[in-house]
A = this chain, B = another copy of it.
Amino acid sequence: MAKDGYHHKDLKNELIEKGLKILDEQGYEAFSMRKLAAACGVSQTAPYRHFKDKNELIRAITQKALSEFNTSLEEAFLADEDPKGQLKKMGYYYIRFFVENPEYLRLLFFSSAQAWMRKVVTSECHNKENHPYSALKRAVKNYKAAYPDAKQSEEELTLYCWGLVHGIAVLIVNGEIPGGKSALPLAERMIQSENFL
């Protein structure tokens, strides 16, 4: 936090935080190592003491964003007791999160994601506690337990719920749907209706 002249200490965290800020304010394309270093008041090569390369920095930033996202989903989960209500609320929070943090959509789903990176961000983390997929799976399991004769399998429910809210988030954030962000209430109504689940 403090920069006692030469040494910086906690530069690593400042890089992640300021990096996320730049990403959010200026967008993915405008993000550069050199700019970030300058923003931290440090030479262009200093970040390389903490991260092997740009990808690893982005990966670290992505993981921070991911955990913010996950926190939001956990909130949704805790905000309701009925399994169906939980699933619906998670859906709404999912969409709202990305409408409020549009740049995160690109970061979490379309960053410089070589295959190895996607693995780190997704599959490898599917069993980890702080990954959205875990939260979703848990909610779906609860739902199936409460409504054992639901027509869809667990697999189908996962794909359906996740797919629907993800797609809606993208369409709203990208302005693909008329009305832009004002389509959020429409999305909520849809999720709350009996047609969804």
List A residues at the B interface (Cβ < 8 Å). 29, 106, 109-110, 112-113, 115, 118-119, 122-123, 126, 133, 151-152, 155-156, 158-160, 162-171, 174-178, 183, 186-187, 189-190, 193-196
For the complex, what is the distance from the CA of A71 to the CA of B40, rounded to whole Å?
Answer: 49
Q: Told that A159-B183, A162-B171, A166-B166 touch, could you supply 9 new A-B pairs with CB distance under 8 A? A: A118-B174, A119-B175, A159-B171, A159-B177, A159-B186, A160-B164, A162-B167, A166-B167, A170-B170
Copies held by the complex: 2
Q: Which residues of B contact A193 (CB under 8 A)?
A: 151-152
Per DSSP, chain A at the interface is helix
Q: Are B166 and A171 interface neighbours, CB within 8 A?
A: yes
Q: Are B29 and A178 interface neighbours, CB within 8 A?
A: no
Q: Which residue of the partner chain, among B123, B176, B189, B196, contacts A133 with CB atoms under 8 Å?
A: B176
Could you list some 8 contacts between A and B, CB below 8 A?
A: A106-B110, A109-B170, A151-B194, A152-B190, A159-B183, A163-B166, A166-B171, A167-B168
Q: Which residues of B contact A176 (CB under 8 A)?
A: 122, 133, 162
